[in-house]
Amino acid sequence: MIRAIYDWTLSLARHPRALWALALIAFIESSVFPIPPDVLIIAMVVARPSRAFVIAGVATVASVAGGLFGYWIGAVAFEGLGRPVLEFYGKDAYFESFQQRYNDWGAWVVLIAGVTPFPYKVITILSGVTSLSLPVFLVASLVARGIRFFVVAALLWKFGAPIRDFIERRLGLMFTLFMALLLGGFLAIRVF
C-alpha cells in the first residue's frame, strides 16, 4: 500500500497542477498522511530546477499550515482523531510520560521533528494536546520545515539528478545527526 501511495505521489510531479498537489500533500502529511512531501519535491525540482525555491516555499507554507491542523487535532479532537493517528504510528504508549516533559522542550522537539525523519504529524498533534505555546510552535515549525525543504531544493538545484539518491537515502540521517549534535551542544552548555 505504501509503495502504491509513493508511486502515485511521484506521478503528481508531472501534472500541470503539481504545485497544488505538493501543497495538499505537504498540508496533510503534517497531520495524517504517511508519505513525506520530499518525494514530490525531489521529482519536481529535478524536472524544473529553475522553480526549486518556489517549490520549497510552497511546501514550507503548506506544511506549517498542516501543522496547525495537527495542532488543532491535538487541542480539540484528540480522542476522536489524534489518538488513532498516534496509535497508527505506534507512539501512543509513550504519550503519558512524553506529555509531562513536552512543554519544557517543546520548541526543540518541534524543531528536531520538523527537520528529521521523525513523523512530524506526531509532534503537531502532541503540541496541541499539551497546549504548547502557539507562537513557539509556529516559529519552530517554520524554521524546521523551511530548513528541511529549502536544503533539499538547494541541493537539487545545485547538483541536479545525481544528488537525488543521496537525498532519498541519506539526507534524513544527516539531518538527524546534525540535530543530535546541536542539541548535545546546547545540553553541554546548560550543564557546564
pLDDT reported for residue 92: 72
Other CB atoms within 10 Å distance of the CB of residue 41: 25
Task: Please state the rounded mean pLDDT for residues 20-33.
Answer: 89
Could you give the 3-state DSSP secondary structure of residue 160?
A: coil
pLDDT reported for residue 62: 97
42 or 66, greater pLDDT: 66
Task: Please state the rounded mean pLDDT for residues 65-82.
Answer: 88
Which residue, among 13, 9, 113, has the nearest Cα to 55 in the 3D structure?
13
pTM attached to this predicted model: 0.76
Alpha helices in the chain (DSSP H): 2-11, 18-29, 38-47, 52-76, 83-88, 95-115, 120-129, 134-159, 164-191
pLDDT reported for residue 72: 92
Q: Detail the DSSP E strand segments found in 60-157.
A: none
| Residue matched to cell numbers 484528540 | 78
* Model confidence band, residue 63 (pLDDT cutoffs 50, 70, 90): very high
pLDDT reported for residue 149: 94
Other CB atoms within 10 Å distance of the CB of residue 137: 24
Which sign does the torsion angle of CA 49, 153, 121, 175 carry? positive
Task: Please state the rounded mean pLDDT for residues 106-133.
Answer: 84
Q: Cell numbers of 10, please?
A: 511521484
Task: Please state the rounded mean pLDDT for residues 35-49.
Answer: 83
Q: Cell numbers of 172, please?
A: 534524513
Which residue, among 50, 59, 57, 60, has the nearest Cα to 158 in the 3D structure?
50
pLDDT reported for residue 162: 76
